[in-house]
Amino acid sequence: MSRVSVPCHVKGTVALQVGDVRTSQGRPGVLVIDVTFPSVAPFELQEIMFKNYYTAFLSIRVRQHTSTHTPAKWVTCLRDYCLMPDPHSEEGAQEYVSLFKHQSPSMTFPKWLSHPVPCDQSAPLIEGLPEPSRVSSEVQQMWALTEMIRASHTSTRIGRFDVDGCYDLNLLSYT
Amino acid sequence: MLQEESDLSLVIAQIVQKLKGSNLYAQLERQAWASLQRPEIKLESLKEDIKEFFKLSGWEKKLQNAVYSELNVFPLPSHPAAPPEHLKEPLVYMRKAQGSWEKRILKSLNSMCTELSIPLARKRPVGEQKELLNKWNEMGTDEPDLSLFRPVYAPKDFLEVLINLRNPNYENGDSLSFRTHLGLIQVPLKVKGIPELKEFFVELGLTTGQLGIDDSTQVPPELFENEHVRIGQKVLAEQDSAAAQQYIRQGSPTALRAELWALILNISSQPEDILYYEQLKTNVIQHDLLVDSLIYKDVKLTASNDDYYFVFEDYLYQVLLCFSRDTSVLGHFAYNSASPPKSYIRGKLGLEEYAVFYPPNVAPLCFLYHEPSKLYQIFREMYVRFFFRLHSISSHPSGIVSLCLLFETLLQTYLPQLFYHLREIGAQPLRISFKWMVRAFSGYLATDQLLLLWDRILGYNSLEILAVLAAAVFAFRAVNLMEVTSLAAAEAVLADLSTLKVMPLLQIFLFATVT
């Protein structure tokens, strides 16, 4: 199951602000980023991945074309998804985030992406530990991972080094 | 659901890969092969029988301890797109600050080298090697000329760097506003408040028995101490790391401490470990590093003059000199925001050198461990798990920046008058408490108290207790501090901590202070 990244065009941010944008009296708290997809073929989106920079909450809206006759309409896929649990502190401020397609029936969309995540999504809490035998069978199923482990070397270091038998050092490098 | 399962599988895969190169893996393999001889192992149910054998013979427990140890030490794998620097430290401005700080240290070392015309590293001539080997156990008697060596940096230099840390995305403004922090640290890291600390340190509460409080001479031992010792012996018999970590939150009996710490840190003295230590010793004999002289100087200035620690001077040299050559320590740089300096050998960029660190806290460990290779292992593990965070700039909750902010926030919130008064007289509290925290209170508290404190560091797998203790000390001496009118006078009030009992202070501050 190979994954391919879809080329997209991310426009600059636009502040949602009442009044003249140029007056810097109040800093806007909401910014909008438009994402368009220049490719023509329909695709099934699995994951949106980005690096956060001090955004606390994220909403995603999608313009869907259901058929050629009805006009396109805006659908909210994600509302106020929390990226920073405490916006006044650094938690989550510069984290890498992935948003996945849920197990809802998928539809392909011609030009605009769709992210059919239920609106009332909240991060499910892990109630208890998963069953060990189930977990271990899943690990075995992820054969790609185990293959990788077998093929790769262990990360344990062997020991000391000796380069050309010489150990005379005079300067530490800055880079 | 899918996300959590794949996260878990990723963690498992990471731990498997890490353990595969370990000694334990080889031992388990050998044991599995040997077990085939046993009558209860049947070919039809081979996997189950071997698993049962491991369970009964205690090998499963050893594996559990190793996994638990890995989970404690290594951070959970982050997003697959995150580069390795992100795992060391997610905030870019902190990484940059750490990089600049390291450059400063390297510049200082390099200039020391060129000024004194001393190489960073050189191979010792054979005669010198023989001499060092002969006096390995009494290096303290040596009196080399160290007058030209200056310390690379002092704690207050490091504090200045931390004070100047700024988040470029945080609007502070130059003028004082409600958004400016009143303390010295200006970065908005998340720190726990007292309600959260009460929950986190729940075993230190008033209704739970503690060593350091409930074992004092006035309390009959039947009430708590005897039972606690009995449980400790049981934990050691079971050889369960997780249980030991939970147990030690209430303190460790002196007689059991060495073994308990070794169990929690998952250190067993195998012949390979002793061999490894001997190998490091050989490295010390064969090569002379500039940093050795710095270590000598530091030990001479500190531990040798200390009433309690001077007896261990020789041990300290043995451990620290070996530590500075231990390349296995390089593994911890995956989650340490610092990076080891590199050097050029004959024009080729290559060998990763020793870690540049502020000489860490070896001396108290000498009270617990007498055998050099065991002492060395414990010290190394304590360093790569905890103490390195006191010397590098990061946003980790146990990092020195968070500890400083936690201290200042606690003081400001719960002793606002004292905080304001000290600030007014030019005695910012952090300037006094920083040196305690950066050394994990070693050299300031009485040894038995220090060991009780370090029990809790191990038990809670966090250094936050250092900041809480620092605030508790200020709370304890608040009355005297309110009367002082200068920084020097404030320092004098807090100069001598050797009579303090840490557990009552912590308990009162967390659980018995009226807010």
- 0.95 surpassed by pTM: no
Q: How does DSSP assign A99-125, residue by residue?
A: EE--SSPP--BSSS------TT--PPP
Residue A161: list chain B partners with CB under 8 A: 327, 351
The answer to whether the CB of A43 falls within 8 A of the CB of A101 is no
- Position A58 in a domain: yes
Distance between CA atoms of residues B16 and B153, nearest Å: 40
- Position A167 in a domain: no
* Token couple for B48: 């189950």
What confidence category does residue B457 fall into, taking pLDDT thresholds of 50, 70 and 90?
Answer: very high
Residue A92 pLDDT > 80: yes
Other CB atoms within a 10 A radius of the CB of residue B445 amount to 24
- Alpha-carbon distance values, B275 to B280, B372, B433 (Å): 9, 12, 40
The answer to whether the CB of B300 falls within 8 A of the CB of B341 is no
Across the interface, which of A86, A97, A148 has its CB nearest the CB of B190? A86
- Position A165 in a domain: no
Higher per-residue confidence, A154 vs B451: B451
Higher per-residue confidence, A64 vs B426: B426
Domain count for chain A, please give it. 1
pLDDT digits (tens, 9 = 90+) for A105-131: 433 333 334 333 333 333 333 445 556
Question: Is any Cβ of chain B less than 8 angstroms from the Cβ of A90?
Answer: yes
Find which of A21-25, A156-160, B171-175, B318-322 is predicted with most confidence, using mean pLDDT.
B318-322
- Position A173 in a domain: no
The answer to whether the CB of B469 falls within 8 A of the CB of B456 is no
Tell me how close the Cα of A132 comes to any Cα of chain B, in angstroms. Answer: 11
* Token couple for B338: 């610092």
Question: Is any Cβ of chain A less than 8 angstroms from the Cβ of B493?
Answer: no
Residue A160: list chain B partners with CB under 8 A: 279, 283, 325, 327
Question: Is any Cβ of chain B less than 8 angstroms from the Cβ of A25?
Answer: no
Q: What is the pLDDT of residue A108?
A: 37
- Position A122 in a domain: yes
Q: What is the pLDDT of residue B37?
A: 84
CA-based nearest residue in chain A for residue B330:
A157
Q: What is the H or E stretch that residue A59 is in?
A: strand A57-64
Q: State what percent of residues in chain B have pLDDT above 90.
A: 34
Across the interface, which of B189, B328, B343 has its CB nearest the CB of A171? B343
CB contact under 8 A, A160 and B327: yes
Distance between CA atoms of residues B430 and B422, nearest Å: 10
- Please state the length of chain A: 175
Question: Is any Cβ of chain B less than 8 angstroms from the Cβ of A3?
Answer: no
Residue from A47, A121, A138, A172 whose CB has the most chain B CBs within 10 Å, to mutate: A172
Q: What is the pLDDT of residue B382?
A: 85
* Token couple for B204: 């230190």
Across the interface, which of A152, A159, A173 has its CB nearest the CB of B343? A173
- Position A147 in a domain: yes
Q: State what percent of residues in chain A have pLDDT above 70.
A: 48
Averaged over B388-415, what is the pLDDT? 93
Across the interface, which of A126, A145, A167 has its CB nearest the CB of B123? A167
Q: What is the pLDDT of residue B221?
A: 85
Tell me how close the Cα of B390 comes to any Cα of chain A, in angstroms. Answer: 20
Distance between CA atoms of residues B249 and B264, nearest Å: 12
Task: Output A117-120 pairs: Cβ under 8 A, ≥24 positions apart.
Answer: A117/A77, A117/A78, A119/A76, A119/A77, A119/A78, A119/A79
pLDDT digits (tens, 9 = 90+) for B217-266: 888 888 899 999 999 999 999 999 999 999 999 999 998 998 999 999 98
Q: How does DSSP assign B28-79, residue by residue?
A: HHHHHHHHTTSTT--STTHHHHHHHHHHHHTHHHHHHHHHHHHHHHSPPP--
The strand pairing partners of A15, in sequence order, are A31
Alpha helices in B74-119 (DSSP H): 84-88, 92-116
pLDDT digits (tens, 9 = 90+) for A48-67: 888 999 999 999 888 877 66
Averaged over B465-477, what is the pLDDT? 97
pLDDT digits (tens, 9 = 90+) for B67-117: 888 888 777 667 778 888 888 889 999 999 998 988 888 788 778 778 878
CB contact under 8 A, A163 and B350: yes
Q: What is the pLDDT of residue A142?
A: 65
Tell me how close the Cα of B204 comes to any Cα of chain A, in angstroms. Answer: 26
- Position A175 in a domain: no
CB contact under 8 A, A139 and B9: yes
Residue A170 pLDDT > 50: yes
What residue numbers bound the domain in which A105 lies? 9-152
Higher per-residue confidence, B9 vs B368: B9
* Token couple for A46: 């699995």
Nearest CA to A61 out of A116, A121, A3, A126 is that of A116
Location of structure tokens 């039809």:
B44
Residue B400 pLDDT > 90: yes
Q: Which residues of B, range 149-168, sit inside 8 Å of A by Cβ?
A: 167
Q: Which residues of A, range 58-77, sit inside 8 Å of B by Cβ?
A: none
- Alpha-carbon distance values, A128 to A103, A125, A135, B214 (Å): 22, 9, 13, 35
Q: What is the pLDDT of residue B348?
A: 37
Question: Strand, helix or coil at B344?
Answer: strand
Nearest CA to B93 out of B510, B393, B503 is that of B393
Residue B316 pLDDT > 50: yes
Strand ranges inside B341-457, DSSP E: 342-345, 348-352
| Sign of the four-CA dihedral B54, B60, B66, B70 | positive
Q: Reduced to 3 DSSP states, what percent helix, strand and coil does chain A have, rounded to the nearest 5? A: 10, 25, 65
Find which of A121-125, A137-141, B281-285 is predicted with most confidence, using mean pLDDT.
B281-285
Q: What is the pLDDT of residue B350?
A: 33
Higher per-residue confidence, B354 vs B139: B139
Distance between CA atoms of residues A175 and B18, nearest Å: 29
CB contact under 8 A, B20 and A142: no
Alpha helices in chain A (DSSP H): 132-141, 143-151
Residue from B63, B111, B122, B196 whose CB has the most chain A CBs within 10 Å, to mutate: B122
Output the average pLDDT for chain A.
Answer: 68
Distance between CA atoms of residues B163 and B186, nearest Å: 7
CB contact under 8 A, A157 and B328: yes
- Position A172 in a domain: no
For residues B151, B155, B161, B163, the Cα torsion angle rounded to the nearest 10 degrees is -160
Higher per-residue confidence, B307 vs B94: B94
Q: Which residues of B, range 302-361, sit inside 8 Å of A by Cβ?
A: 325, 327-328, 330-331, 341-346, 348-351, 353
